[in-house]
Amino acid sequence: TTTINLKNRPVGTPKLSDFEFITSEVPELKEGEVLLKTTYVSVDPYLRGRMMDAESYIEPFELDKPIVSGCVAEVIESKSSDLTTGDFVTGMMEWKEKQVVDAKLVKKVNPNHAPLSAYLGILGMTGLTAYFGLTDIGKPKKGETLVVSGAAGAVGTVVGQIGKLLGMRVVGIAGTDEKINLIKSDYGYDEGINYKTTENMTQVISEACPNGVDVYYDNVGGEISEAVLYNINKFSRTVVCGAISVYNKTELPKSTSVQPFLIKKSSLMKGFVIFDYKDRHPEGIKQLAEWLQEGKLKYEETIVEGFDNIPQAFLDLFEGKNKGKMLVKV
Ligand code: NDP
């Protein structure tokens, strides 16, 4: 079977040569194990952090070892009483066409309840991230203004819709006009701003938010966030979810210019990782599934075909090639 290893720790923007394809034998199944054939692989911006040898909330990847991310796979052989051939499972898996895992480390999913890919997006990590970040940290109130950066991405498309469900005015920031049209036509955003073609972001955000910004759901960090923060209201909340604009920087930009605004506005800024909400994941999934079933939530996917294209799909996240969740179908 083929495996994708981390060959080099990327410096700056990751390259295809940072990954290596190797072939190996599939090991024999032991009691309690299953043989899995990968169906969908999730590629995510946070994997960039794990490629660095730095202390974080999660162990770095080791060199010459497989990359691991959320996947959906089919059981093709089983020595576990919990799973049988033909079952589909999700969990953190290696970037491998086939692999043997302990059946206890994966979770069975029902392809009749939702399409398999949804378990990696709206009903998986990204849906939960949107839900808990917005509701628990953002503390949204009806009538308030929500600004979302990375608005057309996996997390952003969900955050905007939940904001609308909760009665907010929602403004999204994304990198192409096509994405701006999409978030407005399909995901309920009231306004959209293309940060690549807008010169004075602070001014344009203030025009799009005549009542100021009450909640800022931040997926990107950097200059875009600074421009949003110049427009925050008294007692506003900023959900620091991601900072993709700086993940590939070899030196972090230094800025402290928004701090006086946070003070003056008695504003809250809080970072989080979705694992913080581990114990509440079932509650989040239940709510997201309910909204999905009622037709109140939609989701967008960019699906790349072929195991060999996993590294390129990952690199494309940093070029904004995806709308909604970026996935690879093996
Ligand atoms: P997305 O689907 O949003 O994909 C990444 C998007 O980021 C791209 O499509 C691109 O869209 C945008 N982007 C890329 N480079 C830049 C840049 N330099 N400046 C501004 N935007 C950029 O990914 P996810 O929804 O999976 O993740 C969104 C964020 O949430 C990430 O920062 C991620 O790390 C974070 N995250 C955090 C979690 C947590 O537990 N805290 C869990 C999951 C995700 P565009 O065309 O608009 O530029």
Q: Give nearest CA residue, ligand 1 atom 19.
A: 245
Same domain? For 39 and 87 the reply is yes
Same domain? For 105 and 213 the reply is no
Whether residue 289 is contained in a domain is answered as: no
Same domain? For 179 and 67 the reply is no
Q: What's the CA-to-centroid distance between 330 and ligand 1, angstroms?
A: 23
Whether residue 132 is contained in a domain is answered as: yes
Phi, psi of 246 (to 5 degrees): -115, 0
Name the burial class of residue 314, with classes exposed (0-12), middle (13-18) and buried (19+) by CB atoms within 10 angstroms of its CB: buried
Boundary residue ending a domain (234, 258, 275): 275
Residues with CB under 6 Å of ligand 1 are 44-46, 125-126, 129, 150, 152-156, 174-176, 179, 219-220, 224, 241-245, 272-274, 317-318, 320, 322, 326
Phi, psi of 70 (to 5 degrees): -65, 135
- DSSP 3-state of 195: coil
Task: Indicate the angle between helix axes 222-229 and 201-208, nearest 10 degrees.
Answer: 50
Same domain? For 53 and 157 the reply is no
| Residue 297 predicted with pLDDT over 80 | yes
Same domain? For 56 and 180 the reply is no
Query: pLDDT tens digits, residue range 20-50?
Result: 999 999 999 999 999 999 999 999 999 999 9
Q: What ipTM was predicted for this assembly?
A: 0.99
Whether residue 42 is contained in a domain is answered as: yes
| Residues of the domain holding 35 | 2-120+301-329
Same domain? For 130 and 212 the reply is yes
Into how many domains does the chain fold? 2
Same domain? For 134 and 236 the reply is yes
Query: pLDDT tens digits, residue range 167-193?
Result: 999 999 999 999 999 999 999 999 999
